[in-house]
Structure 1
């Protein structure tokens, strides 16, 4: 068994309706809560960076908030995560400067969480191409960590970013730089974190036993020759995120926390799915109240039963319960090797006073059960991983030295930057992305409000052929994580099953009528349910629980299908 750490996680959620001063109260209350978290002994506070995601996240300048938190706390670590790395969102030098400044004012307490962003609102708002964002992350993390350690930074010239040599100051307190993390939402990004030698912030609400498989694969890859650190230090950690509300009476805990947990999941799906959003007009909370059960967030399925907690029991629950229930759930995560659990208490309509009570109760009745012997276990883990970390760092390209004689030349540097800005992707890529977005929005409108019979009539064999051909054309090899093989879709319509196959080979996808010879994954469902799932009108988890959707083969591939064939995915 390894040590386990605990943290609180903030999106700064603010469901409508908003009254005067609501955002100011939201920030003030969060700072008060973090003071309690620091006092009771929690290890981290994580604060996200999001833009334009009304109601779901009013946290667009986390470095300012965390700086305020640093002056009201003494020991809790400040998880700046995730910072969005595409240069159109944040210039790499500005990120390095802000992280170092926060590390200075906090006395060396910063953890640097990173990510690409994936919501259409953010990517479109900053003009980031979805197909470029992973490459931009890899480019930016290399640039930023070099800015931390190179003195001066020796400059950069790549497809995504160009900057002349400069001494990027200030430098961080922690050497060579603060611990690095990356946001993860599925197994492939956990593996990506391991190959880059950085901590995995897993944002999927998964059961402990499923998390254990992710942890095993993470540490296997981290210790293998595939691990080439993205930074100049390795941060071997896997963290999971869970909704939480605590009370000695289970029913009270549910009443106080389940709506917040469900709104968190619903709003996440709203912004990272295909649901249309009109800025300043769409009322996400109203939609939640109207559609929560249909989207897999049924309030009626969460009942007080005094049994051990499951994260998902027909509807998302997380760590909402009594101290005893939550402690048992933590032990299950601890047993499979999870390094950190981050609790979401500030979510949806959850009340400030209830959050404070839950934190105090956690510090009194739960936390003491997991602190004894922690230092010894951490030391043993560090000793066990030391050879693998040393070998991984030896594979990383070293910091560079700038050749003597370089001098700042404004005219020459500006001219080079202008030439670089004209080197971009072809216009046809922008047209392709815009076309995919129009198709998704059109599908959402076409499906909404129609009966099974109406959808089955409109989606006959001819329409299905066009649809699957379109899926194949929209295939994104960057989102496939190296997958190759056959995907079989078996659609039932008026009692007749029609099979379709999409075959992925050599970075391309092809669709054909008929069953697959050797399918990696088979998806069987009704035609109407298939359309509602793809358009975002139905949560596939609901269909699975009702027996209306059946998966066979590599079921962990299923959550990736949307992003692989032109749709968005969280983080």
Structure 2
């Protein structure tokens, strides 16, 4: 099992004059520490206008800084929003390839479409068509990575003439591609498109087994026609994490931040009606958390094994090891730890990462490489069959020319 970290730049009110700057630089320090400690991946979302929940709207810029502060940790978009009004598709391909070059081939390319009215309506994107927009953009971006020149695209949402989209990524045919998933239908779609499944819902080991089985059944099926030119057969799940030798201390340090993450997700994605620049989401959370099942009692009693999805991996090293063994046995490829939420303190996050890396991580690292080799061997026939179903890269018309300015 690999271990990743998710940073969304949550910043509850009230805000001081340097609050955003301090947060961004603290997270850079946390990622640099994670790189030294041997974590496998760092993941950053792209969100717009989601006050307090996520202030990370230019993740490609932030991850460029990460690439220069780290050496081995893989650098993931979780996710880049693909409808063209968010990000024109050629610009997506250019940014991903540039980041891959700057990082020395460490990029993971997560894709998504957004779920919040605040973001979708802010960019004029219709909810009814966002999945189709995502699908076209993912297909076109994959072609831009490998076709030289890109042979053009004439879709309903993505349209572009023949151009040589530059630069090309270090990883060939392109960085591993992923899809944001929030339910089993999305997991199945990711599998049918040969994409890694990035799950952002919290669930326990029993549910992990169901999602893993659904995913790998899809990878092995004849319905698997890759969106890219490689199959990224991996499933990852987001798990809250705070590691401390004293269980009560771990809970105290994490409970407000993790529950605020969940509340903010529901507030912007479902039940909330924010007034831009005016609504104090942290104050609403404090007022409504109990009635929405987000008081401290929701974390369960102390002293027992972990398994409550809302609690995640918040506890002692022994508790976290036992929980992760069950996720590993269920077939999870990567645990992505949510370690920055609400008002969680920088010092507490760093202490937690260090303790986890020292007392939990080594056991799983020792088993990972052999398990990956066995999985690759088992999946090779299905992956080869899937790639054979994928339309190959195209060759542009050699007679195509860009008209001179005088002919426009």
TM-score grouping bracket, smaller chain normalisation = over 0.9
- In 2: Cα distance, 1:412 partner to 1:305 partner: 76
- In 1: Cα distance, 2:406 partner to 2:114 partner: 33
- In 2: Cα distance, 1:197 partner to 1:17 partner: 43
Aligned length: 408
Task: Please give the secondary structure, in 1, of the residue aligned with 2:236.
Answer: strand
Question: What RMSD in Å do the two structures reach over aligned CA positions?
Answer: 1.3
1:388 and 2:388 aligned: no
Q: Is the 8 A contact 1:181 1:235 kept in 2?
A: yes
Q: Is the 8 A contact 2:110 2:177 kept in 1?
A: yes
Task: Please give the secondary structure, in 1, of the residue aligned with 2:180.
Answer: strand
**Closer, same or farther: CA 410–355 of 1 in aligned 2, 3 Å:** farther
Match of 2:153 among 152, 156, 159: 156
Equivalence for 1:170: 167
- In 2: Cα distance, 1:264 partner to 1:375 partner: 33
1:348 and 2:312 aligned: no
Equivalence for 1:319: 313
Equivalence for 1:193: 190
Which aligned runs of 4 or more in structure 1 are off by greater than 6 angstroms? 410-414
Q: CA deviation at 1:410?
A: 6.7
Post-superposition Cα deviations, 1:184-241, rounded to whole Å, max 9, x if no partner, equal 0001000010000110001111111111111011101101101000000000000000
Unaligned runs of 5+ in 1: 415-571
Match of 1:245 among 238, 242, 246: 242
Q: CA deviation at 1:404?
A: 1.2
Q: Is the 8 A contact 2:34 2:353 kept in 1?
A: yes
Equivalence for 2:372: 378
Q: Is the 8 A contact 1:8 1:44 kept in 2?
A: yes
TM-score, normalised on structure 1? 0.70
Q: Is the 8 A contact 1:251 1:303 kept in 2?
A: no
Match of 2:121 among 120, 124, 134: 124
Pairs within 5 Å for 1:470-481 = none
Pairs within 5 Å for 1:145-544 = 145-302=142-299, 305-312=302-309, 316-409=310-403
Q: CA deviation at 1:302?
A: 3.2
1:5 and 2:13 aligned: no
Q: CA deviation at 1:405?
A: 1.3
Task: Please give the secondary structure, in 2, of the residue aligned with 1:372.
Answer: helix
Q: Which has the greater radius of gyration?
A: 1
- In 2: Cα distance, 1:410 partner to 1:261 partner: 57
Post-superposition Cα deviations, 1:80-109, rounded to whole Å, max 9, x if no partner, equal 120000001100000000000000000000
**Closer, same or farther: CA 118–410 of 1 in aligned 2, 3 Å:** farther
Task: Please give the secondary structure, in 1, of the residue aligned with 2:178.
Answer: strand
- In 2: Cα distance, 1:355 partner to 1:12 partner: 13
Post-superposition Cα deviations, 1:121-158, rounded to whole Å, max 9, x if no partner, equal 01000000000000011100110000000000011111
Q: Is the 8 A contact 2:198 2:235 kept in 1?
A: yes
Q: Is the 8 A contact 2:2 2:368 kept in 1?
A: no
1:14 and 2:11 aligned: yes
Post-superposition Cα deviations, 1:448-473, rounded to whole Å, max 9, x if no partner, equal xxxxxxxxxxxxxxxxxxxxxxxxxx
Unaligned runs of 5+ in 2: none
Q: Is the 8 A contact 1:345 1:355 kept in 2?
A: yes
Equivalence for 1:560: none
| Higher relative contact order, structure no. (Cα contacts within 8 Å, ≥ 6 residues apart) | 2
**Closer, same or farther: CA 147–290 of 1 in aligned 2, 3 Å:** same
Q: CA deviation at 1:303?
A: 5.4
Post-superposition Cα deviations, 1:285-339, rounded to whole Å, max 9, x if no partner, equal 0000000011110113435522101234xxx212111111111110110011010
Q: Is the 8 A contact 1:5 1:341 kept in 2?
A: yes
Q: CA deviation at 1:270?
A: 0.2
Q: Is the 8 A contact 1:251 1:304 kept in 2?
A: no
- In 2: Cα distance, 1:17 partner to 1:373 partner: 45
Post-superposition Cα deviations, 1:236-293, rounded to whole Å, max 9, x if no partner, equal 0000001111110000001100111100000000000032111000110000000001
- In 2: Cα distance, 1:278 partner to 1:137 partner: 28
Post-superposition Cα deviations, 1:486-533, rounded to whole Å, max 9, x if no partner, equal xxxxxxxxxxxxxxxxxxxxxxxxxxxxxxxxxxxxxxxxxxxxxxxx
